[in-house]
Chains A and B, each alone.
Chain A
Amino acid sequence: MKKRTVLLTRLALMIALSMIFSYIEHLLNLNVGIPGVKLGTANIVCLFALYRFSWYEAFGVNMGRIALSALLFGTPVSLLYSAVGGVLAFAAMLALKKTKLFGTVGVSVGGSVMHCIGQLCAATLITGSVAVFSYLPLMLVWATVFGTVTGGICLLALKRIKKP
């Protein structure tokens, strides 16, 4: 019982934290010339959970944040984007971590790249045109930059935040 309470509380805290990051990004409204490109700071929490706790907790944080953020600040369309991108990004991060080859930065970059590809797939579904993939080269560059930054921050957090 105690274990379940700890798990629930930890999940709730992490989802709340990632939602705060999502909200701050929403306020900053970063414009890099491509609609929908975000810094992805909310992913720091998911990545942290993946390394510190377990894959299902990280998945719970990811999905919980996506669902609640869409309900609070999004639309059904933005939910589709976030969900497709989020699931693909999570799968990529989990797979890359399991290889034990890459560090948090590599895993984060892989997740960012797959997030972009997922979003472009969702955009293809909505617009009915694969032309949206012309955004891919620039999105890959941003995914690398932002993935490196968020992976680096997660690495620092993992080093500095002591295990419970």
Chain B
Amino acid sequence: MAMKINKRVLAADICLIAFVLLVALVLFLLPKEQGTKVELLRGGESIGIYSLNTDISVEVKDDNGALLNTVCIKNGKAFVSYASCSGGDCAKKKPIYMEGQCIVCLPNGLTVIIRGGNGIDGVTG
């Protein structure tokens, strides 16, 4: 069966796809700085802030003391080395180190986010 192609519709579709990809590209290219700290959030509340310069392994446990995740900071990068959930997607993510990057463990409600600056940069300009 021959398929009729409506050029106007095709052009609109291509424009829409190009627009979405352009937005993605702009978001990718937004200037990001090397982070200095790692903040761990659980359920929206901060449970710890660690320096990216110090190698450390942090165990995140639930209220009953059961291990949920292990977050490692090594060579200036942070990653999740263990996740108690069945999916374990967060443990497969590459190490993060740029400001604003994050690793989320949805089943355990954990967010690992890279923070930048030292608090003074935020008020300049």
Chain A residues with a Cβ under 8 A of chain B: 31, 33-36, 77, 101-103, 105-106, 109-110, 113, 123, 126-129, 131-132, 134-138, 140-141, 143-144, 148, 151, 155, 159-160
Q: A31-B92, A131-B113, A141-B24 are contacts. A109–B16 as well, Cβ < 8 Å?
A: yes
Given contacts A127-B44, A143-B20, 13 further A-B contacts (CB under 8 A): A35-B87, A35-B90, A101-B12, A109-B16, A109-B17, A113-B20, A128-B45, A131-B100, A132-B111, A136-B24, A140-B20, A141-B21, A160-B1
Determine the residue in chain A with the shortest Cβ distance to B112. Answer: A131
Distance A127 CA – B45 CA, assembled complex (angstroms): 9
Residue in B1, B9, B92, B104 with the greatest tally of chain A CB atoms within 10 Å: B104
Count A-B pairs with CB separation below 8 Å. Answer: 100
Determine the residue in chain A with the shortest Cβ distance to B6. Answer: A103
In the bound complex, residues from chain B placing their C-beta under 8 Å from that of A143 are: 20
The 8 Å CB contact of B13, one of A36, A106, A128, is A106
CB distance A106 to B23 under 8 Å? no
Q: A127-B104, A132-B102 are contacts. A103–B41 as well, Cβ < 8 Å?
A: no
Distance A44 CA – B104 CA, assembled complex (angstroms): 29
Distance A90 CA – B106 CA, assembled complex (angstroms): 24
